[in-house]
Amino acid sequence: MPLVNAVNDVPGSIPPSAQAVLGLLEDGRCKTFKEVAEQADIAPRTVRFAIRRLKDHGLIVEKFNFRDARQILYQIKHVPPAADDSAIVGT
């Protein structure tokens, strides 16, 4: 969770609910609002607030969901390379 700790340096540090949402998105996978709310076990209204704060700080991005255009996908903005990727880049 080093990324969450780096967020604390952002002016107007993000609330714990936003840190929890960011922690769920750290794996780099896209998640719908419903998935985030269920996995974080946070009230939907609080998740909406957390997502808005994370977007305002530029930490997550919204993506179009081609499978279901009614749902927006959320993903962390910067995904660190996996250990396997570093071996490929070095060669």
The set of long-range contacts for 58-66, using a CB threshold of 8 Å and a minimum separation of 24, is: 59/3, 59/7, 59/14, 59/22, 60/21, 60/22, 60/25, 63/30, 65/30, 65/32
Mean pLDDT of 11-18: 81
Residues spanned by the domain of 80: 2-90
In total, how many domains does the chain have? 1
pLDDT at 16 over 90: yes
Contact 28, 85 (CB under 8 A): no
Q: pTM for this structure?
A: 0.70
Q: What is the band of 82 on the pLDDT scale with cuts at 50, 70, 90?
A: low
Q: What is the band of 14 on the pLDDT scale with cuts at 50, 70, 90?
A: confident
Q: CATH number of the domain at 39, please.
A: 1.10.10.10
